[in-house]
Amino acid sequence: MSITQERSPAEETQHHVENAGRVGAGVFSPAQLWISLPDALRKLHPKHQLKNPVMFVVWVGSLLTTVFAFTDPSVFTILIAVWLWFTVLFANLAEAVAEGRGKAQAETLRRTKKETVARRLTEDGAEERVPGADLRVGDRVVVEAGEVIPGDGDVVEGIATVDESAITGESAPVIRESGGDRSAVTGGTTVLSDRIVVRISTKPGESFVDRMIALVEGAARQKTPNEIALTILLATLTIIFLLAVVALQPMASYSGSQQSVVVLTALLVCLIPTTIGALLSAIGIAGMDRLVQRNVLATSGRAVEAAGDVSTLLLDKTGTITFGNRRATELIPVGDSTVDEVARAARLSSLADGTPEGRSIVELVVAEHGLAPAADEEEKRAEFVPFTAQTRMSGITLPARGSHAGEGDREVRKGATSAVRQWVRDRGGHVPDETERVVDEISQQGGTPLVVAEATGGKAFVRGVIRLSDVVKPGMQERFTELRAMGIKTVMITGDNPLTARAIAQDAGVDDFLAEAKPEDKMELIKREQEGGRLVAMTGDGTNDAPALAQSDVGVAMNTGTMAAKEAGNMVDLDSNPTKLIEIVAIGKQLLITRGALTTFSVANDLAKYFAILPAMFSGIYAQLGALNIMHLATPRSAILSAVIFNALIIVALIPLALRGVRYRPSSASALLRRNLLIYGLGGIVSPFLGIWVIDLIVRLIPGIG
């Protein structure tokens, strides 16, 4: 049976490159506003509003102006009350739309949950049928082809192909087997072939799918440290502006123009940071959602935020930086042999070699020398010699035509230098010094040499050497250059010797490497980086990676890995693509940049509204302020109402940006600050002047306002 366990390396890289360009993309449609409106109305409850200090002040102000609209009705008071409620509603709408996308994903996950009957094994080995909800941690269950796995666990016996499309969205089945790093299975997935025994590792209601549902719905989302700090800052600014507005009343009274509570409330709402206060929660939810869109499950918002602050990335060499299997990249003839002769010998010795290295040799000679990829009829009758750990060689023996068995046979072998050297000498041949020189040169450059030799007519000789190399995935150098521009240090982790590791690290363009790495070495490296004030991210899939995943600030466990690894990390990649760690960092940075950009816009926006409204309000009292009324707003009432309307509408206008995120481009912190100030700072200053002026042209036509 030929089943593809994961994407091929080429497909994986292409998939990663395509996804990389989508960081900053998001799906938003105006219809989502209408669909989320009922949820937004439900969030008007005071218990929900108390969670957001800024919007709670607006909610209280809306309630207060509504009371005045009933007790002392006027067109101005009614319109102010209506638009203040719209401000609260639009803030709720931003959060509801963000949560709505998660709920749609949660509903899809719920459909994957099936009530199953498990075949639980008793202590004497007999089977008993029990409901899946009755399974407990440690129970062993049998699952055969066509049956649904009843709960999360690890395969302890057997091997099977499993359809995980309901969880990962990947249609290709995967292999799960006991005793390795691909033993974890998820409840709700389906076994397609063979029979496995699974040891249950989670309680009912606490499965992987249950946790995913809670997280994507937002029910399990907790505010991150930065989000809490920003909330405190916004609350402080609200108090400062509250005191500033309260201080205006004595001044107005002294001047003989006391302001009404409705006017002061409207002014307060326009000056406090309602824009970022309304969008803050939506930004955090959308950050989690962008990860879910890329099949990454973050167990906490803290992990997403930490990803944006990561300054050291630990990356496994195999499967992340390189394709994972060494490939033939060059044929080097020795002695009197030509490259074509080496190619023909290399092909013959690899026809029966089913290893990735053997297949890559055939691919090389087919591509560069035009040789046939498959054996012809004569070659099919030959005796194939498979690779074994004892011989460390593989090859083929072609019988000479018309000769007795064993007489004049042509033998072709390839393998480790020492094994082939001994094989040649046993047949009376000589290995030239040039062979040793080429082998040493390849080894020093981080490659693996395979010597190709022939024996025919009682004569044995070396044809040449095949260079096997760890091939760095396309585009990795560019990605590491981007990370370096962001101030992120990249460290390659490998079990190779230092010489090989250095060569691959230079080829890939990483900043540092850890060779001959053991679990304790990874832990020591992470702790050393963290002591220097750096946040560290790494990927892993095995039980031996669990300690390092738990120690790192962002630990991304592969879904194909063991349950121990998934429990230790704070993110799980459902696609099991190690290169996605780079994309996760970009998503985390995008979250922080979006929050910073909208905060900059909101603060600048509030200051601009301050200078736009006050001159119009007090120009009748202090004639000198008339010079500052550059927009020529009609009346103080039209100025206040226009500002309140603009304050509400700008929240709706920014919902798509909050959900989609500010487009992320790798650059330094100073460059990002300049960009934020130029685009969002300047935009926050200019937009209120333009917006309030346009709205004033309309509202001045309303009787009792203009």
Quote the CA–CA distance of 167 and 421 in Å, as a whole number: 52
391 is in an annotated binding site: yes
Cα distances from 621 to residues 215, 615, 626, 639, 692, in angstroms, run 55, 10, 10, 15, 22
pLDDT tens digit string along 488-521? 888 888 877 787 788 788 888 889 988 887 778 8
Lowest mean pLDDT among 111-115, 162-166, 184-188, 286-290: 111-115
Q: Which amino acid is at 703?
A: P
pLDDT at 162: 85
Sign of torsion over alpha carbons 303, 309, 315, 319: positive
Q: What's the pLDDT band for 18 if we cut at 50, 70, 90?
A: very low
Q: What integer is the mean pLDDT of 235-246?
A: 86
Question: Helix, strand, or coil here: 395?
Answer: strand
563 is in an annotated binding site: no
Query: Residue 569 falls within a domain, yes or no?
Result: yes
Q: What integer is the mean pLDDT of 536-563?
A: 80
394 is in an annotated binding site: yes
Residue 316 annotated to the active site: yes
Task: Give the structural domain span for 172.
Answer: 117-150+152-201
Verdict on whether the full-model pTM lies above 0.75: no
pLDDT tens digit string along 111-124? 555 567 888 888 88
Quote the CA–CA distance of 181 and 412 in Å, as a whole number: 37
Q: What's the pLDDT band for 28 if we cut at 50, 70, 90?
A: low
573 is in an annotated binding site: no
353 is in an annotated binding site: yes
607 and 567 in a common domain: no
**pLDDT over threshold 90, residue 65:** yes
Quote the CA–CA distance of 11 and 21 in Å, as a whole number: 16
The two structure tokens encoding residue 115: 């009530």
**What does 245-275 look like in DSSP terms, one character per residue?**
HHHHHHHHHHTT-PPPHHHHHHHHHHHS-HH
Most confident of the following: 290-304, 451-465, 598-612:
451-465
Lowest mean pLDDT among 23-37, 438-452, 494-508, 527-541: 23-37
Quote the CA–CA distance of 60 and 44 in Å, as a whole number: 11
Quote the CA–CA distance of 304 and 593 in Å, as a whole number: 13
302 and 282 in a common domain: no
Going by their DSSP bridges, the two strands 153-163 and 195-200 should be labelled as: antiparallel
Share of the chain residues as helix, strand and coil, in percent rounded to the nearest 5: 55, 15, 30
pLDDT at 606: 83
pLDDT at 569: 82
Our measurement of the distance from residue 205's CA atom to the centroid of its chain's CA atoms, rounded to an integer in Å, reads 26
Q: Are 239 and 603 in contact (CB under 8 A)?
A: no
The two structure tokens encoding residue 131: 């409901």
**pLDDT over threshold 60, residue 170:** no
221 and 277 in a common domain: yes
Query: Number of helices and strands (H, E) in the chain?
Result: 26, 21
pLDDT tens digit string along 304-349? 878 888 888 888 777 677 766 678 888 999 988 899 999 999 988 8
Q: Are 538 and 570 in contact (CB under 8 A)?
A: no
477 and 430 in a common domain: no
461 and 355 in a common domain: yes
**pLDDT over threshold 50, residue 1:** no
528 is in an annotated binding site: no
- Asked which of 542, 574, 606 is the last residue of a domain, the reply is 574
**What does 602-652 look like in DSSP terms, one character per residue?**
HHHHHHHHHHHHHHHHHTTT-GGGGGG-TT--S-HHHHHHHHHHHHHHHHH
Query: Residue 664 falls within a domain, yes or no?
Result: yes
Which residue of the set 139, 210, 289, 316 is catalytic?
Answer: 316
358-365 long-range Cβ contacts below 8 angstroms, 24+ apart:
358/387, 358/394, 360/325, 360/326, 360/327, 360/328, 360/468, 361/328, 361/414, 361/450, 361/466, 363/328, 364/327, 364/328, 364/329, 364/331, 365/331
Give the count of beta carbons closer than 10 Å to the beta carbon of residue 235. Answer: 18
Query: Residue 566 falls within a domain, yes or no?
Result: yes
387 is in an annotated binding site: yes
Q: What integer is the mean pLDDT of 462-471?
A: 87
Comparing CA positions, the residue from 611, 609, 591, 605 lying closest to residue 659 is 591
617 is in an annotated binding site: no
Mean pLDDT for all residues in the chain: 79
440 is in an annotated binding site: no
**pLDDT over threshold 90, residue 59:** yes
Question: Helix, strand, or coil here: 296?
Answer: strand
Quote the CA–CA distance of 160 and 563 in Å, as a whole number: 17
Query: Into how many domains does the chain fold?
Result: 4
**pLDDT over threshold 80, residue 216:** no
Quote the CA–CA distance of 631 and 8 in Å, as a whole number: 62
The CATH number of the domain holding residue 308 is: 3.40.50.1000
93 and 163 in a common domain: no
Query: Residue 90 falls within a domain, yes or no?
Result: yes
678 and 596 in a common domain: yes
Percentage of residues of the chain with pLDDT beyond 70 = 82
228 and 83 in a common domain: yes
Helix (H) or strand (E) holding 663: none
* Between 162 and 301, residue with greater pLDDT: 162
193 is in an annotated binding site: no
Question: To the nearest 10°, the Cα dihedral for 524, 529, 530, 534?
Answer: -160
312 and 356 in a common domain: no
* Between 1 and 248, residue with greater pLDDT: 248
667 is in an annotated binding site: no
Q: What's the pLDDT band for 703 if we cut at 50, 70, 90?
A: confident
